[in-house]
Structure 1
Amino acid sequence: MDGDPTRVVIVGGGFAGYRAARALRRSLLKAAGIEIVIVNETDYFLYLPLLPEVAAAVVVDPRRVTVSLPAALPGVRLALGTVTALAPEKDRLSYTDPEGAVHELRYDRLILAAGSVTKLLPIPGVAEHAHGSRGVAEAWYLRDHVIRQVELAAAGDSPEERDARCTFVVVGAGYTGTEVAAQGPLFTQAIQRRHRELEGQRTRWLLLDLAPQVLPELDPRLSRAADRVLRKRGVEVLTGTSVREATNDGVWLTSGEFVPTRTIAWCVGVSPHPLVAGAGFETQRGRLVVDTTLAIPGHPRIFACGDASAVPDLTRPGEVTAMTAQPATRQGALAGRNVAASLGFGIAREYKHHDLGFVVDLGGAQAAANPLHIPLAGWVAKLVTRGYHLLALPGNRLCAAVDWLLDALSPRQSVQLGLVQSASVPSATTTPGEQR
């Protein structure tokens, strides 16, 4: 309608969506009559890489890893809800707010940064009995659940029940699964020390993956370094093995072994957000096809970035960028600038990915890192890892640093609050952010 502002709508407030909104704000500071709207399921940006530390009570308060979108993006309007339908022929989208009301939103430019969701494999019982670690509720639930299992074991009389409650199975030896499994023994040891009834009780942590090694995407030297840390802590690393079936009493492994347990942490990976499949655009392996400027072919006013998009990797012809936080962050920033360019502010540029390395926190004084492709392990990698997270966090840096210091100097917290129940956090829970 005449007189309406030019509206840019961003779907998703994770790494890509948040950075897109921030870049747009900066590019359009002097522009009048342009409105930026971000549609997100929560009112915060979630820093996913620190969720394993939330689950292990290293980061005490989950709010440390969340940043308020309205506070961090002044001038950007937040539409709280989940996008359910796109109508590109009408320049409209529909979303449902947390109370179930349906809204329609007009746009002149659209950035799809819907991110990804937990990948569920067609394995009997997984959806009912496993829990993921890609959301605040999931991480908090896992923390409470682990504490509860140890406490129930301490109160139990049956040796078989104690063994099952003190057995924890982590499925997936990628970044998240490896960090959860590495943090786990340190956490359960801290809880167990407070229960004399469990003196001499064996606590098992198992890490499963069909791949031949942990962190299969990394340099073999760093994979071996992580493997040594895990085994030194007593983690049973079972490569070439996964779950055949999950039950209320335990898991059947593909090796034929049955492991009695009450805890299955599902860290297998992610899939593009379901919105992508119903968007009506061309996809590649479930991700939206875009050109090198992040625009969707045939739809010059619609851009996509992050886990939801198959962005061509110009440094590896024929390949697309990985579904991790590093490319999502930079793609989001470029998408914001290119949308601004399409409105007459700046020049559109192509996305060219340069891998800056990775960091994996293994708990305690251990980590594995590859900054600028220099392989590091041990305390040096730990310093690099902590420094990277502090720089990458868009807020709450001091709070996170204080939690790390307190964890090093004081006993680990082991209180379960019971605020999140099991039924509230199935492993299919979706998260508006991108995978790391």
Structure 2
Amino acid sequence: MVGAGFAGVACVRRLERRLGVGEADLSLVTPFSYQLYLPLLPQVASGVLTPQSIAVSLRRSSKHRTRIIPGGAVGVDAKAKVCVIRKITGEMVNEPYDYIVLSPGSITRTFDIPGLVDNARGMKTLAEAAYIRDHVISQLDLADASQDEAERASRLQFVVVGGGYAGTETAACLQRLTTNAIRRYPRLDPKLIKWHLIDIAPKLMPELGDKLGQSALEILRKRGIEVSLGVSIEKAGPEEVTFTDGRVLPCRTLIWTAGVAASPLVATLDAETVRGRLAVTPEMTVPRLDGVFALGDAAAVPDTTKGDDAVCPPTAQHSMRQGRVMADNILASLRNQPLKPYAHKDLGLVVDLGGKDAVSKPLGIELRGLPAQAVARGYHWSALRTNVAKTRVLTNWMLNAFAGDDFVRTGFQSRNPATLKDFEYTNDYLTADQIREHTRGLIAGG
């Protein structure tokens, strides 16, 4: 199993429960010994939750039947049936397999925009969330200490790109943090702090529908967030950002959440793709590659509930359920039984905008305010896999509700402003020739 996201962990947990003794050996390739509960990442960035709260321990939640390999899969030789792994020490090892399940997830999608990869920060990893929190608070500290009005203006303007779930929640949660923090900075004018949320799409979170999407837009604008639709970034610099509508903003904080792309691992296989994701059958097998399955963000799993050429969106809801079906199909393969196709109708979307603000659409029912907040937090809380994680998250929520935000800056990478590539390790993957060279001895000896 490659990847410890929602899909991979759901598959492994089900296999651990249903495999007979001695029926198969399980290995899980992941650089971290936790499953990241990604939907709550904006609350880590804003300090509502501690990083440890949403890093759900794999060893605590497993039945200890799975060997965890600390590293990342950087190539797959489907002919030799070998997965090439770069361990966290940098050592490269070959891991043979009979069946391989690919759920390496996704990375932040970027475009050929001058300065973007060097000056933007993503929100895909725990390290990025911790870094962004430190960075935002440091901008307040530096602006407060500065005598230069131009520097103050650039440090107190924040831009978030992406009007989807991640971008909207990130902008909302961090804007709430700076609004509460400014009370601790009497030398700073609160009016100088400006948050901008931009998206090239004509609507904010179109998945919510027109009414709820408009409600979310009104909440953000009422709180002072400037939302610009039909707009993107033309150029990004260390101290200013140029929009496609011609505006140039002094800005030292650019957060990029404009979509995701499948893991670069996909490109190491000689397989058909659909918009960069592995093309798979409804049973989540990869055509022409014996023993290879794929699911989650890296796979274009057909959405059988919609038909035609529709594929499932890269959401946690689909990934978790695909993982369970995948486990059943692995068992069926081992036992020479027929595989079953994946089918699931989306149950809705929940959006936590911080404080008492939220919009949700569970089972098609439109909710706003506290009822929506209760549904959003209740869903996330119930989806956490261990009681320890649930206790930590609930305790953090209660502490924040009664004590308010804290504004501690830990100094995380304070003198090393990391880029998107640094956080997501996108340069680690091998080419097809490198993979063949690395596994040549196994093929010759096979």
- Shift of residue 430, structure 1, vs aligned partner: 2.4
Q: 1:281 to 1:424 in 2, by over 3 A?
A: farther
Amino acid at match of 1:221: K
- Shift of residue 295, structure 1, vs aligned partner: 1.1
Deviation string for 1:69-110 (max 9, x for gaps)?
222222111011111121111111110111110111011111
Q: 1:424 to 1:330 in 2, by over 3 A?
A: farther
1:49 alignment partner in structure 2? 39
1:97 has 2:87 as partner: yes
2:424 alignment partner in structure 1? 430
TM-score (norm 1): 0.94
- Shift of residue 184, structure 1, vs aligned partner: 2.1
1:261 has 2:251 as partner: yes
* Alignment partners' CA distance in 1, 2:72 and 2:414: 22
Of 334-343 and 30-39, the range deviating more from structure 2: 30-39
1:163 has 2:153 as partner: yes
Question: Which of residues 344, 348, 359 in structure 1 aligns to 2:335?
Answer: 344
Question: Which of residues 133, 152, 155 in structure 1 aligns to 2:142?
Answer: 152
Deviation string for 1:84-141 (max 9, x for gaps)?
1211111111101111101110111110101100111110001111100110110001
* Alignment partners' CA distance in 2, 1:425 and 1:152: 19
Deviation string for 1:241-280 (max 9, x for gaps)?
1110001111011111100011001111100000101111
1:224 has 2:217 as partner: no
Question: Which of residues 233, 245, 262 in structure 2 aligns to 1:243?
Answer: 233
Question: Which of residues 12, 15, 18 in structure 2 aligns to 1:24?
Answer: 15
1:276 has 2:266 as partner: yes
Deviation string for 1:223-249 (max 9, x for gaps)?
001101100110000111111000111
1:198 alignment partner in structure 2? 188
2:55 alignment partner in structure 1? 66
* Alignment partners' CA distance in 2, 1:243 and 1:210: 9
Q: 1:200 to 1:330 in 2, by over 3 A?
A: closer
Q: 1:257 to 1:136 in 2, by over 3 A?
A: same
* Alignment partners' CA distance in 1, 2:255 and 2:53: 22
1:378 alignment partner in structure 2? 369
- Shift of residue 325, structure 1, vs aligned partner: 1.0
Q: 1:332 to 1:385 in 2, by over 3 A?
A: same
* Alignment partners' CA distance in 1, 2:337 and 2:395: 40
* Alignment partners' CA distance in 2, 1:362 and 1:346: 46
Equivalences, count:
421
Amino acid at match of 1:257: R
* Alignment partners' CA distance in 2, 1:102 and 1:200: 52
Q: Which runs of 4+ in 1 moved over 6 A?
A: none
Amino acid at match of 2:282: T
* Alignment partners' CA distance in 2, 1:208 and 1:177: 9
The alignment-based identity, stated in percent, is 39
CA RMSD of aligned residues (A): 1.5
**Partner-residue secondary structure (3-state), 2:196:** strand
**Partner-residue secondary structure (3-state), 1:100:** coil
Gaps of 5+ in 2: 427-446
1:176 has 2:170 as partner: no
Question: Which of residues 314, 322, 331 in structure 1 aligns to 2:313?
Answer: 322
Q: 1:312 to 1:273 in 2, by over 3 A?
A: same
- Shift of residue 348, structure 1, vs aligned partner: 2.8
Question: Which of residues 392, 399, 424 in structure 1 aligns to 2:392?
Answer: 399
- Shift of residue 198, structure 1, vs aligned partner: 1.2
- Shift of residue 300, structure 1, vs aligned partner: 4.6
Amino acid at match of 2:353: L
Which structure's residues are more often helix, by fraction? 2
Matches within 5 A, 1:410-425: 410-421=403-414, 423=416, 425=418
Question: Which of residues 207, 220, 225 in structure 1 aligns to 2:197?
Answer: 207
Q: 1:26 to 1:431 in 2, by over 3 A?
A: farther
Q: 1:431 to 1:316 in 2, by over 3 A?
A: farther
Q: 1:337 to 1:364 in 2, by over 3 A?
A: same
The question of whether the paired residues in 1 share the 8 Å contact of 2:29 and 2:69 is answered with yes
Q: 1:421 to 1:95 in 2, by over 3 A?
A: farther
2:379 alignment partner in structure 1? 388
The question of whether the paired residues in 2 share the 8 Å contact of 1:226 and 1:368 is answered with yes
The question of whether the paired residues in 2 share the 8 Å contact of 1:117 and 1:431 is answered with no
1:358 alignment partner in structure 2? 349
The question of whether the paired residues in 1 share the 8 Å contact of 2:305 and 2:343 is answered with yes
The question of whether the paired residues in 1 share the 8 Å contact of 2:179 and 2:190 is answered with no
* Alignment partners' CA distance in 2, 1:52 and 1:233: 17
**Partner-residue secondary structure (3-state), 1:95:** strand
TM-score (norm 2): 0.92
* Alignment partners' CA distance in 1, 2:232 and 2:79: 44
The question of whether the paired residues in 2 share the 8 Å contact of 1:321 and 1:327 is answered with yes
2:430 alignment partner in structure 1? none
1:7 alignment partner in structure 2? none
* Alignment partners' CA distance in 1, 2:417 and 2:160: 20
* Alignment partners' CA distance in 1, 2:225 and 2:278: 38
The question of whether the paired residues in 1 share the 8 Å contact of 2:262 and 2:277 is answered with yes
Deviation string for 1:150-200 (max 9, x for gaps)?
111111111221111111100111001000111122100221111111145
- Shift of residue 422, structure 1, vs aligned partner: 6.6
